[in-house]
């Protein structure tokens, strides 16, 4: 009798676990089927519109991937990054140097506009950004990952917070690890997510000092391999301060989501000090070397898992936030 009671308990427990898994429950309040009834076409709309934009300009893929990171690391994934300045707050997260070169706001706005036609007032901008960033990476044949949904949009966006929280390309490994730990991400996830620099560009103005005046004596950062520094100098002549000049962060396969970035970092060909810094910690350095030498054996899988965690940082749910009508403006001011 006692045995059969115990047995039934475990059967029910196992069934509950399976059901929780099948319904996409992640231990947070988010769920992959959050909009199944309220906006059944959401996933298709996001995928279709994002794919069209990326087809016309593949640079939207890195742009949107960077955008979700910059949103989530400041106040959590609450679309605070998307808010435009207002008379009462003329300096939002958007108005900062790190966010000045983001690409893809038009993709988010196009998806949101279509959703407002199909299922008005239902899907948050935070969820649109989480989906579009995944769909954009998939559109360039990059890794896929689960996107649990149900985020609400925040109402506060401060330039000062973006400046304090978004990691600097000049940061050392201690600061980078702290930036990530502050939002619950591990050093290994720092190494994994930095692999996003396998796609996209860096602007020349960011590496001017690294190339031409590293210690204020007209020198080059000795951490850059000599031939790579020479190459970068041809791409970024002295005093390239404008936003026109940029260089692929992954020199060999800039449009392909692969592990080549890690090989470059091991060869001292990381574009930013923050990339090179991954070699200065046993755990991050181990990961970089492992991916470089194993041909990226687990990179796509690791990246997807880390993204599913990144996009759940500090989310607002239920009454903690709202669903904006347009992504650039809060809906209600209480």
Which CB, 45 or 211, lies closer to ligand HEM? Answer: 211
94 binds ligand HEM (CB under 6 A): no
Which CB, 22 or 243, lies closer to ligand HEM? Answer: 243
CA distance 92 to 78: 14
Which of 104, 135, 138 is CA-nearest to residue 42? 135
Q: Which one of residues 24, 58, 85, 169 is an interface residue with ligand HEM (CB under 6 A)?
A: 169
Helix or strand holding residue 248 (H, E): strand 246-248
66 binds ligand HEM (CB under 6 A): yes
Which CB, 45 or 185, lies closer to ligand HEM? Answer: 185
Pick out residues in 234-253 that bind ligand HEM (CB under 6 A). Answer: none
Which of 124, 110, 117, 93 is CA-nearest to residue 47? 110
**Mask 201-220, x = binds ligand HEM (CB under 6 A)?**
xxx--x--------------
Tokens of 145: 């990952």
Q: Which active-site residues does the annotation give?
A: 70
CA 265 to chain CA centroid, nearest Å: 20
Q: Which one of residues 42, 193, 232, 292 is an interface residue with ligand HEM (CB under 6 A)?
A: 193
Q: Which one of residues 31, 36, 168, 298 is an interface residue with ligand HEM (CB under 6 A)?
A: 168
DSSP reduced 3-state for 170: coil
Which CB, 66 or 94, lies closer to ligand HEM? Answer: 66
CA distance 205 to 169: 12
Q: How far is the CB of 184 from ligand HEM (least distance, A)?
A: 14
User: What burial letters (b/e) apply to 112-150, b meaning 16+ CB within 10 Å?
Assistant: bebbeeebeeebbbbbbbbbbbbbbbbbbebbebebbbb
Contacts to ligand HEM by CB under 6 A: 59, 62-63, 65-66, 69, 101, 103, 167-169, 171, 176, 190, 193-194, 196-197, 199-203, 206, 272, 274
């Amino acid at each position: 009798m006692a045995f059969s009671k115990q047995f039934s308990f475990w059967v029910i427990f196992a069934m509950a676990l399976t059901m929780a898994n099948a319904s996409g429950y992640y231990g947070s309040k988010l769920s992959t089927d959050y909009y199944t009834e309220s906006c059944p076409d959401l996933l298709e709309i996001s995928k279709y519109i994002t794919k069209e934009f990326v087809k016309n300009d593949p640079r939207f893929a890195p742009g949107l991937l960077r955008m979700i990171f910059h949103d989530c690391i400041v106040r959590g994934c609450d679309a605070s990054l998307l808010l435009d300045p207002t008379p009462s707050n003329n300096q939002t997260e958007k108005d900062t140097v790190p966010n000045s070169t983001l690409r893809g706001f038009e993709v988010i706005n196009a998806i949101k506009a279509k959703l407002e036609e199909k299922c008005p007032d239902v899907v948050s901008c935070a969820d649109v950004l989480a989906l579009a960033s995944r769909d954009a990476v998939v559109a360039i044949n990059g890794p896929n990952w689960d996107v649990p949904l149900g985020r609400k949009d925040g109402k506060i966006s401060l330039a000062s917070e973006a400046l304090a929280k978004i990691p600097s390309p000049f940061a050392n490994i201690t600061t980078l690890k702290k930036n990530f730990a502050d939002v619950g991400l591990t050093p290994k996830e720092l190494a994994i997510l930095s692999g996003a620099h396998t796609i996209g560009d860096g602007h020349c103005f960011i590496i001017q000092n690294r190339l031409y005046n590293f210690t204020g004596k007209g020198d080059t950062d000795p951490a850059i391999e000599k031939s790579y520094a020479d190459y970068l100098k041809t791409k970024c002549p002295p005093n390239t301060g404008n936003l026109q000049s940029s260089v692929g962060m992954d020199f060999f396969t800039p449009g392909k989501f692969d592990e080549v970035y890690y090989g470059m970092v091991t060869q001292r060909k990381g574009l930013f000090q923050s990339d090179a810094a991954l070699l200065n910690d046993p755990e991050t350095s181990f990961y970089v070397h492992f991916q470089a030498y194993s041909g990226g054996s687990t990179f796509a899988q690791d990246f997807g898992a880390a993204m599913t965690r990144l996009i759940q940082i500090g989310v607002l749910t239920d009454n903690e936030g709202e669903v904006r009508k347009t992504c650039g403006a809060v809906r209600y001011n209480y």
